[in-house]
Amino acid sequence: MRKLIYFDCRENFADISQYRLYREALESSEESFGYRLDVVKWRTCDSYSWSSVFEDTSFQPNALFYPWQRHRVPLPSSNRSFRWEDLDEMRHYMTLNKNSFCYPFWEVAVFCEEADFEGAPYDFEFKPSMNPDTDWVCLGFDVSERGGLSALTSFGIETEEQRRIGQSFGVINEHHLFDDYEAAKSFADWFTALLDQPHENHGPFFVFSIWKIREYSNSREVKSSAHGSISTTSY
């Protein structure tokens, strides 16, 4: 059963080479990253590889990851899940802080496509009756563990054989996501087994769909557009 996990705003100006964590990983490791090397903009549920506009102020190392740290918008202290459960609430907060949105970004929604997914850190109430609005655009399917690390972007690829196997499950699109749920599910099962080793502390991995809701280019658009109620379709 599809479950809404969260809403968020993600930057829409930086390619992956501008992420300091990614550059440092490349410099310090013999591994490479990414299953499709011609994609330079990763749109993933993993905020290490696709930065949220909002800043979790309790997590100070963020400054190491994002050169545009000073342009991020602090989350309200009442937001204990570090993600938005309600689109109207997020948009209201956006209007209150409209002058802080200094660069282009997308509103997105993330759904888990797995029936047995539950537990931390997404431990707020799921909304299984909610479907994506008909105006939203599905960017594709990501594969991530509960902690949010994406198997497609945040784990090094040790050999070209590993990359070839990963690519064999299905089309990886221009967002570095699978186009097809079944392909993503097969990849998730394979990657979970791949990391099922005594020295690994990751997994299992689940399939998430990522949906683009609205695109913003500046703070004026936040002021004029970030209003209105969410439209939903029920099962």
Query: Could you state, in order of their start, the residue ranges of all structural domains in the chain?
Result: 3-225
Collapsed DSSP state (helix, strand, coil) of residue 205: strand
Alpha carbon of residue 25 to chain centroid: 19
Check residue 30 and report its DSSP letter: S
If phi > 0 it is left, if psi is from -120 to 50 it is alpha, else beta; for residue 82 that is left
22 within 8 A of 176, measured Cβ to Cβ: no
Residue 142 has pLDDT above 50, yes or no: yes
Which pLDDT tens digit goes with each residue over 94-135?
988 888 887 889 999 999 888 666 554 454 455 555 788 999
Name the pLDDT band for 188 (thresholds 50, 70, 90).
Answer: very high
Name the pLDDT band for 4 (thresholds 50, 70, 90).
Answer: confident
Q: How many CB atoms lie within 10 A of CB 26?
A: 14
Name the pLDDT band for 56 (thresholds 50, 70, 90).
Answer: low
Residue 151 has pLDDT above 60, yes or no: yes
Which pLDDT tens digit goes with each residue over 155-182?
888 888 988 998 899 899 999 999 999 9
Q: What pLDDT sits at residue 66?
A: 58
pTM of the model: 0.83
